[in-house]
Amino acid sequence: MSCEAAPDDPDRLSYEINWSADFPALWEPHHLQRRGGRLTLEGRRFAQAGHCDGWIRVGGRELRVRGWTGTRDRCWGVRPVPGEEGGRLAEEHPTAGFHWIWCPVRFEDRFLMVIVQEDADGHRSLNDATLVRPGHRDRQLGWPQPEITYRSGTLPHARNERARGHPHPGTRPDPPR
């Protein structure tokens, strides 16, 4: 990826950054999401861990980019358009949000990808944990079991529960208001 400085940019921002993959790309599971009986999302995605090298120039200074690690993903498919749903569908099937965990974890010799999506009622529409190592077959690690505790008042529908639906040890209900 590159950018030459615009003639009218007083900071003269420019860069040349090259992405290199360190692990094979991982196809994430086919993602389907429904609202009532209607299909609202159908998508495909891949994720890949790698690193960047190059340079960034701004304000007469140059920053060398060497070995910056990161993850890239690409997705395509049909997605809901905010604001388009209304009428009877919205009345009969109100949305209460969802929980999304997209967690790429990179090590020197392997790449772990965990992805979970749960509807407000706890139904999982996406669920995967896969280990990727160069020269090896991808290894499925099973059903991810995230344990998340929210601070009181941070989310309108938050609950202190494990993803399995059991109370989280060491937590107690919020005091009555």
Rounded CA-CA distance 163/141 in Å is 16
In the block, residue with structure tokens 């995967």: 128
Q: Hey, what are 139's tokens? A: 């290894």
**pTM of this prediction?**
0.72
pLDDT in tens, 41-95: 899 999 999 999 999 999 999 999 998 999 999 999 988 777 665 677 777 777 7
Listed as own residue / partner, the contacts of 126-132 with beta carbons closer than 8 Å and 24 or more positions apart are 126/28, 126/29, 126/31, 127/29, 128/28, 128/29, 130/26, 132/23, 132/24, 132/26, 132/49
pLDDT in tens, 8-22: 999 999 999 999 999
